[in-house]
Amino acid sequence: MQRVLRLLLLLIGCVILQTSVFPHLRILDAVPDVALVAAIAVAYRAGPETGAVFGFAAGLSVDLFVHTPAGLTALTCAVTAYIVGILQAGLVRSTPWAAPILGGLGGLFGGFLFVTVGVLVGRDEMLTSHSVQVVLLAAAYDALISPLIFPVARWAAAEPSTPGGMRRW
């Protein structure tokens, strides 16, 4: 129950940051996808199922505030987190560069998945050179915020059996 409450707290924090804070910190129209980075971090820590469920819930919460097809952010976060969760078993966990690398690559994959699915559901205006620029910049932004989000996600996704939830990755 503690883990669920911590993940819920992380989800609420991500939604607040993504919808209230980062829209004011745009870099050439790009904002980081805080929910996606958190979902990647949860999947990296807790596995594909937990990451996908968290990603879907966080993405669906963000979808309530944005003007894109409903569920698009939820789908993007869930699929990206699931893939990271599957791949995390083969990743070296001790490197300090894991968070920015996963945040950037996950942001890149998630951004292009978002645009691709958006076009498939009839939003042709999503496929422009400007969209590609925004996805690339947002992925870089995701890499920059990842070292801040990964430790919080590690705490939130920790199993209750670990003392204080502070196990090394």
pLDDT digits (tens, 9 = 90+) for 9-66: 999 999 999 999 998 988 888 999 999 999 999 999 999 999 999 999 999 999 999 8
**128-161 tens-digit pLDDT:** 888 999 999 999 999 999 999 999 999 998 887 6
Break the chain into its structural domains and give their ranges. 2-157
Q: Which two tokens stand for residue 56?
A: 């879907």
Q: What is each CA distance from 1 to 5, 15, 38, 113, 152, in whole angstroms?
A: 6, 21, 19, 33, 17
Residues 6+ apart with CB under 8 A from 23: 31
Residue 21, pLDDT score: 92
Residue 1, pLDDT score: 85
pTM assigned to the model: 0.88
**114-124 tens-digit pLDDT:** 999 999 988 88
Distance CA 51, CA 13 (A): 16
Contact 76, 114 (CB under 8 A): yes
Taking the alpha carbons at both ends of the chain, their separation in whole angstroms is: 22
**pLDDT for residue 89 is more than 90:** no
**pLDDT for residue 165 is more than 60:** no
At position 138, the amino acid (one-letter code) is: A
Residue 82, pLDDT score: 95
The residue that leads in pLDDT, 94 or 113, is 113
Residue 163, pLDDT score: 56
**pLDDT for residue 92 is more than 70:** no
E-strand ranges in the chain read none
Q: How many CA atoms does the CB half-sphere of 68 hold within 13 Å?
A: 23
Q: H or E segment at 154?
A: helix 129-157
Q: Which two tokens stand for residue 19?
A: 């919808």
Distance CA 120, CA 65 (A): 22
